[in-house]
Structure 1
Amino acid sequence: MTATLTGAPTAAQVTEPTAAQTVVGGYRHEAFFWRGEDEFLSGTVPFIRDGLAAGQPVMVAVTLTHLEQLRSRLGSDVDRVRFVDMAELGHNPARIIPAWRSFVDEFGAPGQQVRGVGEPIWAGRRPDEVTECQLHESLIDVALAPHALLSLLCPYDADHLSPEVLAAAQLAHGAPVRLAPAGGGPTRGTAADVLEVFAEDLPEALGDAFVRPFTVETLRSVHGAVLDRAREAGVSFERSCDLALAVHEVATNSVVHAGGKGVLRTWCRAGALVCEVRDRGQIADPLIGRHQPDLYSQHGRGLWMVNQLCDLVQIRSHGGGTTVRIHTWL
């Protein structure tokens, strides 16, 4: 379906895909395509003020430039809004869903609708980050609908984001696609498609990779191997220690839950050190690592910690095995 926001540009004003939304009960997740500062503000400010007027708690998680623009335009309403720098929160896109869950849990009392503006994708994000943000945009529907009383608006810069990114945004927000990605592809999608994306293989490494199979007997060697690769790549000591701890945790999961063995691969590409663990196990929950475990939980702690420590974590799993790929920006 298509939707028009109060004060937002109409579909005719945006030559890329029209705005789209997923609606399930009290949960609404909408894409908003805009051009220029005026259109951005004309779509987001009324959305925020309508929420405040209805007594709804509001959180805004956008880039710092947009935070400053909104603060300036909202005037006396600014103190009634929770502002979050999305470049910091969404540095690793897997951290975004827990933030929205926390906001809903804190302010979404029974029957209380809450409202948010979230900008996970902006011009200049690395391609792998964009891929994970696109997965996030579908996962959030799985994580929050239908029980969360959340109205979430996701702005997309139609001037600077590619047609492929805008088309993918429509797929993630559950509406028909009016501008297909280059080369064709599906014409529409729903949140259920996230399981297919989660099962897709990641692209193969480009260039030479360091490869080390491991078992329960050789698991301890993973930590040292990652430290060596990080030092060679110029990663700082503190970040190297965090990375080695994270990769060792993933390898431990392989030993404990995936038949007692796995394979570590590391390689460098432009601007990043990549560490990957593959095994023959299968993960059924595409939200793994995005659930904040409680004090008594026996599952999910490892990948939650990995997402807190690392720049970007990609997880894919199917009947043939699981891949966890960790990127460290250089």
Structure 2
Amino acid sequence: MTGFFHETAFYGTDDDFLAHAVPFLEDGLRGGEPCVVACSEQNTALLRGALDRTGVIFRPGADQYSRPSEAIASYRDLFREHTSDGAQQMRVVGDVPHPGTGARWDWWARYEAAANQAYAEFPVWGLCPYDTRTTPADVLADVVRTHPNIATTPGTHEANAGYREGLAASPQLPDVLEEGVPLLELLDPAASAVREAVGNAIEGLDLDEDAAHDAVYAASEIVTNGLTHGIAPVRFRLWAGGSRVVLAVTDHGHGPSDPMAGLVPTTETRSAGLGLWILHRTCDYVSMGRDADGFTVRVSVGGQT
């Protein structure tokens, strides 16, 4: 195999999951291929109990899929390590988070679309199984559109007629904190003014030092991106509650043209990609997309989304 073979499979029972995953991994092990499992605790336990062979690399799914950018960086390091050691092919079974497992979907939808490019240089067969008992219908539709290949039944591997290259971002869903009045709202502010205003606004909140620093940095970065790459007016808003801060910047531009923006680092000094990538590595949630108001970057820091 050359390049990334990105495949999905849908299952509705534990037995169906095993019917897809076990032969997939056992075939790889028989061929001497490094095999990786990064699944939920339940699916990991099922696979540990069903596999007769040792040699599978088990990674906790919650760690591997903490953030899309982290998942990409971690997988690329792993793939590079094994291919440098001579592996001709690798296999991965991974449970990508979604609302049925308590995660926000739009940035994971971007991950599934971006994976086709992010891993393209590696000889990896990736199987992304989705449980139809817990996965919402709109998520399943996105999964079909982001996977070039599909296992319609265990043991079948077909080109997916529903695949669409360059999936548009899923609609942004406002954070629950946005139901209230913004604690801070600024129009076309300088980045320095935003840093000072945000620092003062969050001073009395229940944020630890790292979260407070991340909030100030994120605010400065997304405003700078809006002013530099967007179209005025640039509107900055901040909401806060307990130990969490939500920041949003809206402008009237179209946003980054690169679907990988924020998910991988860039060395282009004039690009917004490096700052967005740092946000994706440090903040608890980042979304980007257009709606009736314009192009919005939304960031959540601290607590749970």
Matched, 1:325 2:298: yes
The equivalent of 2:78 in structure 1 is: 103
Matched, 1:238 2:210: yes
Change (3 A) 1:225 1:37: farther
Deviation at 1:203, TM superposition (A): 4.5
Q: How does 1:78-117 map to 2 (within 5 A)?
A: 80-109=55-84, 112-117=88-93
Deviation at 1:324, TM superposition (A): 1.5
The equivalent of 2:24 in structure 1 is: 47
Aligned partners of 1:270, 1:66: CA distance in 2, in Å? 34
The equivalent of 1:18 in structure 2 is: none
Calculate the TM-score normalised by the size of structure 2: 0.78
Aligned partners of 1:269, 1:49: CA distance in 2, in Å? 49
Contact 2:205 2:242 in 1 (8 A): no
For 1:14-73, what per-residue CA distance to the aligned partner results, in whole angstroms no more than 9, with x for missing partners?
A: xxxxxxxxxx96432121222333332332222122112112122222123333433344
Question: Which residue, 169, 172, 182 being the options, matches 1:202?
Answer: 172
Aligned partners of 1:247, 1:75: CA distance in 2, in Å? 51
Aligned partners of 1:158, 1:124: CA distance in 2, in Å? 10
For 1:59-113, what per-residue CA distance to the aligned partner results, in whole angstroms no more than 9, with x for missing partners?
A: 2221233334333443551xx3332222223222333223332222222358811
**Aligned letter for 1:27?**
F
Question: Which residue, 235, 245, 252 being the options, matches 1:273?
Answer: 245
Question: Which residue, 264, 274, 277 being the options, matches 1:291?
Answer: 264
Question: Which residue, 157, 161, 166 being the options, matches 2:140?
Answer: 166
Q: Secondary structure at 1:94's aligned position in 2? A: helix
Change (3 A) 1:289 1:224: same
Aligned partners of 2:243, 2:139: CA distance in 1, in Å? 22
Q: Secondary structure at 2:296's aligned position in 1? A: strand
Question: Which residue, 308, 311, 325 being the options, matches 2:281?
Answer: 308
**Aligned letter for 1:291?**
V
Matched, 1:33 2:10: yes
Aligned partners of 2:260, 2:18: CA distance in 1, in Å? 32
**Aligned letter for 1:116?**
V
Aligned partners of 1:190, 1:305: CA distance in 2, in Å? 30
Contact 2:11 2:17 in 1 (8 A): yes
Matched, 1:70 2:47: yes
The equivalent of 1:119 in structure 2 is: 95
Contact 2:146 2:165 in 1 (8 A): no
Q: Secondary structure at 2:234's aligned position in 1? A: strand
Aligned partners of 2:122, 2:213: CA distance in 1, in Å? 38
Contact 1:283 1:322 in 2 (8 A): no
Calculate the TM-score normalised by the size of structure 1: 0.72
Q: How does 1:212-251 map to 2 (within 5 A)?
A: 212-215=186-189, 218-231=190-203, 234-251=206-223
The equivalent of 2:106 in structure 1 is: 131
**Aligned letter for 1:46?**
P
Deviation at 1:168, TM superposition (A): 2.7
Contact 2:7 2:126 in 1 (8 A): yes
Contact 1:61 1:83 in 2 (8 A): yes
Matched, 1:211 2:185: yes
Aligned partners of 1:241, 1:270: CA distance in 2, in Å? 16
Contact 2:188 2:235 in 1 (8 A): yes
The equivalent of 2:124 in structure 1 is: 150
Q: Secondary structure at 1:29's aligned position in 2? A: strand
Q: Which runs of 5+ in 2 are unaligned?
A: 153-160
**Aligned letter for 2:26?**
R
